[in-house]
Structure 1
Amino acid sequence: MVMAQQRAGQQRAGHPKTGHPKTEHPKNTGSRQRLTARDWADAALAAIAEGGLAAVAVEPLAARLGTTKGSFYWHFAGRDALIEAALERWAEVATEAVIAETEAEPDPERRLRALLLRTTDAAVSDPLGMSLLATAADPRVAAALARVTERRIGYIAALFAELGFSQAEARRRGLLAYSAHLGHAQLGRAVPQALPTGADRTRYLESLIDALLHRG
């Protein structure tokens, strides 16, 4: 789930549909107290979404944030530290915040349906996940993707287990669900005309979830 991310929790932490962090553009105050490490991490994620890992550069990010390089060096020892912070922020906003919000629903099947519907549909309009997948050759990104992927598949598998599937079967279905999520996101970015739209898209996603829940 290049699993988002939406609503109340993410409106506080990120984009209301994808979980992509908001990047503010404050006026240039020159005040390091006005910006936090999180502000820089969010700006770095926005840059990655737009231009990949190579787009993370201190001077352009300072201009984006309306500040100077001094603010950056107040928070980070260098670019690598910022990239690590940005990847941690991505995991927090696009995975942990989504899971926390999903947990508010007590019924496991409703929880699973809501999670898969929302995140799979939203992934199509979220360039950040695809951008990170495209830069998976970078060891830092590869490590973050491995952690996030395991967390997401593990959580989905736990929902299937709550519904009575064995641990092995729950894991298999969790992997199938996440594979479908990634495939849907990739098609939506590369060949959008291959996917249904509007009400047909919702029916398509519902049928996918029905298939995943089917007990043969």
Structure 2
Amino acid sequence: MANKHNNEEEGSNLTTQDWLNLARETLIRDGVEAVKIDRLAKASGVTRGGFYWRFKSRHDLLEQLLDDWRSCNTVPFVSALSGAGTPAQRYRALMQLWIEEREFRPDYDTAVRNWAATSSVVADVVQTVDSVRVDALRRLFKEAGYDGNEALVRARITYYHQVGYYTLGVRQSAERRRQLSPIYYQILTGFAPDQNSGTDVISGKNTKELVG
């Protein structure tokens, strides 16, 4: 009884974010079916009772995990596109976000999309988030001077291209992606290239000679 009591007390020291961090990594690694109270509690070294210090139920945890995903992966996305600078500069900021994969985690996006395949509720949330992201891109292209339809189509092409890149599991180093970024930039945006057309828009490295 003493050990159980101690474990529950230790559970009270785990913050809500601690549990969400563990749930996030479990979701990414093993899928939503693995995000179970017993499994998370065992990984944390506490009893089930420790879990209930922070959440009412597994359903409560999963709802907050969805909110965590929206915050972690959509706020940086929209912030990059709505920050300071010209539309071209802000688009490059988004490219850098995608290449660095620090503030924006593609594996988290992929895990939630896989989860959405098993839940209509999650699928609706993903669709809403996708719409928010596409609209942020649309507004950027509209500001750059494209008419409504072309701004929307360019936004969709940019976004669907990137989602497809993650969904297909393309394996490519960050360095190689930086090398190719000027070509993607020109094709996807239609913006005029920099004066130094051989300069990588992300790293500033010369990319006139690209190797396969």
TM-score above 0.5 = yes
Q: Tell me which amino acid in the other structure corresponds to 2:58.
A: R
1:65-214 to structure 2, matched below 5 A, reads 65-100=44-79, 103-119=82-98, 122=101, 126-137=106-117, 138-187=119-168, 189=169, 191-192=170-171, 195=172, 197=173, 199-214=175-190
Q: Which TM-score applies when normalising by structure 1?
A: 0.73
Paired positions, count:
184
Aligned Cα RMSD in Å? 2.7
- Provide, for residues 52-85 of structure 1, a one-character-per-residue CA deviation record: whole Å limited to 9, x for no partner: 1101100111233333322322322211111111
- Mapped partners of 1:114, 1:97: distance in 2: 10
Q: Which TM-score applies when normalising by structure 2?
A: 0.74
Q: Tell me which amino acid in the other structure corresponds to 1:132.
A: V
Indicate how the Cα distance of structure 1 residues 65 and 140 shifts in structure 2: closer, same or farther if over 3 A, else same: farther
1:4 alignment partner in structure 2: none
Q: For 2:26, what is the secondary structure of its paired residue?
A: helix
- Mapped partners of 2:188, 2:106: distance in 1: 24
8 Å Cα contact 1:120-1:181 kept in structure 2: no
Structure number with greater CO (CA < 8 Å, separation at least 6) is 1
Displacement after TM superposition at 1:91 (Å): 0.5
- Mapped partners of 1:209, 1:66: distance in 2: 48
**Which structure 2 segments of 5+ residues have no match?**
1-6, 192-212
1:10 alignment partner in structure 2: none
Displacement after TM superposition at 1:101 (Å): 5.3
Displacement after TM superposition at 1:141 (Å): 2.2
Indicate how the Cα distance of structure 1 residues 42 and 140 shifts in structure 2: closer, same or farther if over 3 A, else same: farther
Displacement after TM superposition at 1:127 (Å): 2.4
Indicate how the Cα distance of structure 1 residues 32 and 97 shifts in structure 2: closer, same or farther if over 3 A, else same: farther
8 Å Cα contact 1:117-1:206 kept in structure 2: no
- Mapped partners of 1:125, 1:147: distance in 2: 18
- Mapped partners of 1:186, 1:47: distance in 2: 19
8 Å Cα contact 1:49-1:128 kept in structure 2: yes
Q: What percentage of residue pairs aligned between the two structures are identical?
A: 26
8 Å Cα contact 1:84-1:140 kept in structure 2: no
Indicate how the Cα distance of structure 1 residues 67 and 98 shifts in structure 2: closer, same or farther if over 3 A, else same: farther
- Mapped partners of 1:36, 1:198: distance in 2: 34
- Mapped partners of 2:81, 2:151: distance in 1: 18
